[in-house]
Chains A and B, each alone.
Chain A
Amino acid sequence: MKKTAKNIIEISGLTKDYPLGNTTVNALRGIDLNVQEGAFTSIIGPSGSGKTTLLNIIGCIDTATRGSVKVAGHEITGLNDKQITDLRLHTIGFIFQTFNLIPVLDVLENIEFPLLLMKKHSGAEIRQRAEKLADLVGLGEHVKHRPAELSGGQRQRVAIARALVTSPSLVLADEPTANLDSVTGGQILEVMRQMNRLEKTTFIFSTHDANVLKYAIGVTKLKDGVITAN
Chain B
Amino acid sequence: MLALIRMSLRNLFRQKRRNLLLGSAIAVGVLLLVVANSFSRGISDVMINKVLRWVTGHVTVAYNERSRMASEIFRDKDRINAILDQHKDVILQREEAIGAFVKAIGVGKADNLMLIGLDFSAAGNEKSRKETEEAFRLIGGNWDDLNNSTAENPLIISQEKARYLGVKIGDILRIRLRNIYSQDQSARATVMGIVKSDNIFMQPVAFIDMQKIKDIMGFDAHSTGILNLIIKDPMRNAQPLADALHKQLNASLAVIPAAAQKSDLPITVLGYRSDPDSRDKLSKLLTLRQGAWDTLWKDKTALVSAPLAQRLRLKPGSSLEVRYTDKWGNANTPMLIKVGGIFDPQKVWGENTILANDEKFYEQFYEHWPRAAQPNEQAAIPGTSHTAYALLAPEWILLPRTLTTEDLEKKYQDMGKKKQKATLIDVRTMYEAGKMVLQLEGVLNLITLTAALILLFITLIGVINTLRMTIRERTREIGTIRAIGMQQKDVRNLFLFESFFLALFASIAGVILALLIMWGLSSITLRMDDNPLGMMLVNGHLYFLPTIWSVLGNMLLVLVLVVVTAFFPARRAAKLSPVEALRHTE
Contact = CB atoms under 8 A, between A and B. Distances in A.
Max count, chain A CB within 10 A of own CB: residue among B7, B484, B486, B487 = B484
25 contacts: A56-B579, A61-B482, A61-B483, A61-B582, A62-B578, A82-B487, A82-B488, A85-B482, A89-B484, A94-B480, A96-B582, A98-B476, A100-B479, A100-B582, A102-B477, A104-B11, A104-B13, A105-B7, A109-B6, A114-B484, A114-B485, A117-B484, A117-B486, A117-B487, A166-B485
A98 to B, nearest CB: 8
Contacts of A81: 488
Contacts of B482: 61, 85
Contacts, number: 67
B95 interface: no
Name the prevailing secondary structure of the A interface residues. helix
A25 interface: no
Given A62-B579, A166-B485, 7 more contacts: A61-B582, A85-B486, A85-B488, A88-B484, A94-B483, A104-B7, A117-B490
A142 interface: no
A104 B485 contact: no
Interface in A42-87: 56, 59, 61-62, 81-82, 85-86
A158 B434 CA distance: 72
Max count, chain A CB within 10 A of own CB: residue among B3, B14, B481 = B3
Interface residues of B, number: 24
B10 interface: yes
Given A82-B487, A85-B487, A103-B14, A61 B579 contact: yes
A114 to B, nearest CB: 5
How many residues of A sit at the interface, in one of the four size bands? 20 to 34
Interface of B: 2-3, 6-7, 10-11, 13-14, 476-477, 479-488, 490, 578-579, 582
Contacts of B3: 113, 116-117
A85 B485 contact: yes
A90 B480 contact: no
Nearest to B477: A102
A142 to B, nearest CB: 18
Given A62-B579, A90-B485, A100 B7 contact: no
A98 B476 CA distance: 10
Contacts of A96: 480, 582
Contacts of B481: 102, 113
A161 B128 CA distance: 78
Contact of B484 (A62, A98, A162): A162
Given A61-B578, A96-B582, A102-B477, A113 B484 contact: yes
Nearest to A172: B483
The 3 nearest A-B residue pairs measured at CB: A89-B485, A104-B10, A100-B480
A125 to B, nearest CB: 15
Contact of B483 (A59, A86, A103, A105): A59
B460 to A, nearest CB: 25
Interface in A17-39: none
Interface in A146-191: 162, 166
